[in-house]
Amino acid sequence: MSAESLNLWLSPPVLALLGLCIGSFLNVVVHRLPRMMERDWWSEMAQHLADGEEFKHCFGEPPPKALAAASAELDKKLDGLTPYGLAKPRSACPACGHQIRWHENIPVFGWLRLGGKCAACKTRISPRYPLIELATGLLFAAVGWRFGAHPVALMWCGVLATLLALSAIDWDTTLLPDDITVPLIGAGLLAGAMGWSGISLSQAVWGLLIGYFSLWSINELFKRVMGKEGMGMGDFKLLAALGAWLGWQALLPIILISSIIGSVVGLGMKFTRGLRPGGFIPFGPFLAGAGAVVILAGTQRVLGWIGQGY
């Protein structure tokens, strides 16, 4: 591809349009992936309930007949569910089942045209859908400004889109799915090995290890002192993924930025009584947001902000 074509197709406005479309797909991922995971969990539960040998090995006695009956009932209900994935079924209103037509699904403008309501039953459609689309478009445009008309810009667009999806899923469910975080780690190592991410493979590996075990150690200390978990394993994997993409040098500013913003948001939610039962907020969105700041500003610049430039 010629330089002129790259300048056009990887320009911030074109990347912003691409981001709007990708943001529409992210809405599907954020909504459906947790529900797909729930189906998998129930399927695994049915298998465990039906495994008499596993029960006997654990409890030293044959399983009660009620467990086999429960397993059969679960299997029956699972078999009766319609196929559900990222591609099928077609998007529909959860209130009335109205299938979303193509012109209603145009990023941002479809929501505005409908006035934020279902075309059929007028049930309110959350403004988060266009907000995620807009956020993706803005992030992609920012990548265009940051990295210029270079194919590596598409790679960083993919990373930021992944971080945005993880943030929304974690905020909704307090889950950071392995289906996303583990491939993100692997892709970071591959990018380091190929020289695409601007760091060496050794820096990526150290970033992965230090990222994971730093939060693991903090959580272990918190658990011993407070007697409960302070964060989940998904947070460890997310920081490991950011370390794999950005190197170990980026971890300190990511932790500092995420902790500060998380504390401010947490205090604000506490005073407005917006905290969930248990008084916690997911940490993943703040880790992902801090990672996005480092990607777009550059590790050296962010280290300079905290007086750690070198």
Short-list 162, 150, 151, 149, CA closest to 245: 162
Q: How far apart are CA 163 and CA 218, in angstroms?
A: 22
Q: With bands split at pLDDT 50, 70 and 90, how would you rate the model's confidence at 128? A: very high
Residue with tokens 């049930």: 123
Q: Is 184 exposed, middle or buried (0-12, 13-18, 19+ CB in 10 A)?
A: buried
**How far are the Cα atoms of 35, 150, 177 from residue 87, in angstroms, in the given order?**
14, 30, 18
Q: With bands split at pLDDT 50, 70 and 90, how would you rate the model's confidence at 139? A: very high
| Rounded percentage of the chain residues whose pLDDT exceeds 90 | 65
Q: Is the pLDDT of residue 79 over 70?
A: yes
Listed by start position, the domains of the chain span 3-113, 151-305
**Token code pair at residue 1:** 């591809």
Q: Is the pLDDT of residue 244 over 90?
A: yes
Q: Is the pLDDT of residue 281 over 90?
A: no
Residue 148 makes CB contacts below 8 A (sequence gap 6+) with 10
pLDDT score for 7: 80
Q: Is 95 helix (H, G, I), strand (E, B) or coil?
A: coil
Q: With bands split at pLDDT 50, 70 and 90, how would you rate the model's confidence at 177? A: very high
